[in-house]
Structure 1
């Protein structure tokens, strides 16, 4: 099965996204911030990552840069998630190695579209 690490400081966002992704056959792991996410990736690299932009301790952008520089960190499909409609932030995330992005709040259709068929089983 495919695995997805959901990284967001909001437990509500993690739970909602987790339920949606479980419905399309992902095994879900959660992290509250970039540091916790990076620690989990060092233990076992997920197939995909849903990554929030603004978090305490380590931001999504800081995490993304660390991840992509880490051995095996090029593997996960990363969808960067932001509430900011700032093309500059989105461009920074894509340049740092995000594969895609989406705006918050999101709905089931948008989230499924970002992850459906992303990772071969």
Structure 2
């Protein structure tokens, strides 16, 4: 397998020739390349095997039921809005990100307390 791998590339052939003339740096470079490529190949094979196992797995987290609607707490949103008005940036971001969804949830009856 190593011999075939060497023959596939002219640079590797040159490294073999230099290594055969006792160039230890060339020999080290050649074997380092071999070990690196073998490690990559093994990792790729393991990843592909894991992907195939996942593809065969019949059970999944998603069922036929639609996802539950997002629920909000009226008091939590009110507290975030107050903190946002006080200049708390994290609260400002939260309100900005969730304002539209909160209004939709409010219209659908998905807001508690």
Q: TM-score with structure 1 length normalisation?
A: 0.19
- Which is higher, the Rg of structure 1 or of structure 2? 2
| Structure possessing the higher relative contact order (Cα contacts under 8 Å, 6 or more residues apart) | 1
**Greater share of residues in strand:** 1
Q: TM-score with structure 2 length normalisation?
A: 0.20
